[in-house]
């Protein structure tokens, strides 16, 4: 009786239990709320609802309508964006399936987000190697740590904003033990239409502070694939973060070459401005490079830094000595992020004769809105780099 009667458990903890109540009968629910608010004891009100109630397509497909984009009202069918460029999440999911076919030690772990993290195909292809731990990110990370101790290669795919929930487990169960757990950090940067709670603007800062952790971010789809392979070959905690949305449209290479840990790459050369970029903003930096040259006669060196930790200190220091006007750009908060890492690097080397402008999110929470609009509003796009470069050239 105690196991099947609603409320018995809560009453054992001295809660006044009411329910289950049909949450769609609003008048009844309001009456109950008005009555129980007068009680002086702890109260637990158990309300049940049906996801998508009143809209048949949503009732039949609650998973899809959890975080829905544009759709046809009459049918509920998704209105797909024009174009054939795959999303970063899709590239990640397909690459996981591809690599798992060659290595039976690869395990996928997610927290109630198999569709959102692109792992549906992996789950269908390798069900015995796929684990959805539910809305329990902390357990997922510790579970992955346990898998790593047994020689498996766990890939934990979680949105940046939700990985914050498991910070303690990342620190104590993974990093202190230096276990080879791979963190695929989806929705890194401005997420946009998913709202303020889903923006992934803190991961570069909170992950790079952890000893033993490697942190990187790809500039395009191919580099995402390379970073996954790099992670699988690394004997320690490692994370790569990638944005929401479609990739850049580069041709996907069949051969996936791992990256040397902690090494960036010079993409463009010029002597007036040094632009150090990480992740998606590398594309903005390349666009700014062209605009500066064509419209303002300013030459710039653009570096795809790839790694926030460890930084390519040797490359950054050598370039900073030659080009003292420096811009860093990241889709992350400025506090403790990529730009801060560059400043620390130069300070530790004793370099003082430089002028540096850090482009990133200031000390605020970014609101809901289209990604490109928010990037423009918060000055983390190509135009912002151009303006910062012109200002540096005029001042220094």
Catalytically active residues are 51, 137, 165
Token readout for 59 is 């009732």
Secondary structure class of 277 (helix, strand, coil): strand
With beta carbons less than 8 A apart as the criterion, state whether 130 and 122 touch: yes
- Number of neighbouring beta carbons within 10 Å of residue 232: 18
Record the tokens describing residue 133, joined without a space. Answer: 């731990």
Alpha-carbon distance values, 70 to 50, 56, 245 (Å): 22, 17, 14
What's the token pair of residue 301? 């060196």
Structure token pair of residue 368? 């809901």
Rg (CA), the chain: 24
In whole angstroms, what is the distance from residue 121 CA to residue 319 CA? Answer: 44
Handedness of CA 298, 302, 308, 309 (dihedral sign): negative
Q: Is there a contact between 263 and 311 (Cβ–Cβ < 8 Å)?
A: no
Q: What crossing angle do the helices spanning 313-322 and 338-348 adopt, rounded to 10°?
A: 70
Check the CA dihedral 315-317-322-328 and report its sign. Answer: positive
Q: Is the peptide bond before 310 cis (omega within 30 degrees of 0)?
A: yes
Sign of the dihedral defined by the CA atoms of residues 68, 71, 75, 80, in that order: negative
């Amino acid at each position: 009786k105690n196991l099947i009667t609603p409320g018995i458990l809560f009453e054992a903890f001295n809660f006044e239990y009411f329910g289950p109540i049909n949450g769609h009968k609003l008048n009844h629910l309001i009456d109950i709320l008005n009555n129980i608010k007068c009680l002086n004891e702890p109260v637990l009100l158990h309300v049940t609802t049906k996801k998508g109630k009143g809209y048949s397509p949503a009732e039949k497909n609650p998973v899809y309508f959890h975080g829905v984009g544009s759709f046809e009202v009459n049918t509920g069918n998704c209105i797909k964006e024009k174009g054939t460029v795959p999303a970063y999440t899709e590239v990640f999911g397909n690459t996981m399936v591809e690599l798992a076919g060659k290595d039976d030690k690869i395990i996928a772990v997610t927290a109630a987000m198999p569709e959102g993290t692109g792992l549906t195909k992996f789950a269908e292809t390798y069900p015995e190697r796929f684990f959805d731990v539910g809305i329990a990110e902390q357990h997922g990370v510790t579970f992955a740590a346990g898998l790593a101790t047994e020689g498996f290669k766990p890939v934990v795919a979680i949105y940046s904003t939700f990985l914050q929930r498991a910070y303690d487990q990342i620190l104590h169960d993974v990093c202190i033990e230096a276990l080879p757990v791979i963190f695929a950090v989806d929705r890194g940067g401005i997420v946009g239409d998913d709202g303020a709670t889903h923006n992934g603007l803190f991961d570069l800062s909170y992950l790079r502070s952890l000893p033993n952790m490697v942190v990187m971010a790809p500039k395009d789809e191919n580099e995402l694939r390379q970073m996954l392979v790099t992670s699988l070959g690394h004997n320690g905690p490692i994370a790569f973060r990638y944005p929401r949305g479609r990739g850049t449209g580069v041709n996907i290479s069949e051969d996936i070459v791992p990256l040397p840990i902690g090494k960036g790459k010079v993409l463009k050369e010029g002597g007036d401005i040094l632009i150090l970029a990480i992740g998606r903003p590398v594309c903005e930096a390349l666009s700014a490079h062209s605009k500066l040259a064509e419209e303002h006669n300013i030459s710039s060196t653009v570096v795809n830094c790839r790694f926030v930790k460890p930084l390519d200190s040797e490359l950054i220091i050598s370039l900073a000595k030659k080009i003292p006007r420096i811009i860093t750009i990241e889709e992350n908060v400025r506090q403790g992020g990529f730009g801060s890492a560059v400043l620390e690097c130069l300070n530790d080397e004793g370099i003082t004769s430089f002028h540096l402008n850090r482009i990133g999110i200031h000390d605020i929470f970014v609101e809901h809105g289209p990604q490109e609009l928010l990037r423009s509003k918060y000055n983390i796009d190509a135009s912002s780099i151009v303006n910062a470069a012109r200002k540096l050239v005029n001042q220094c």
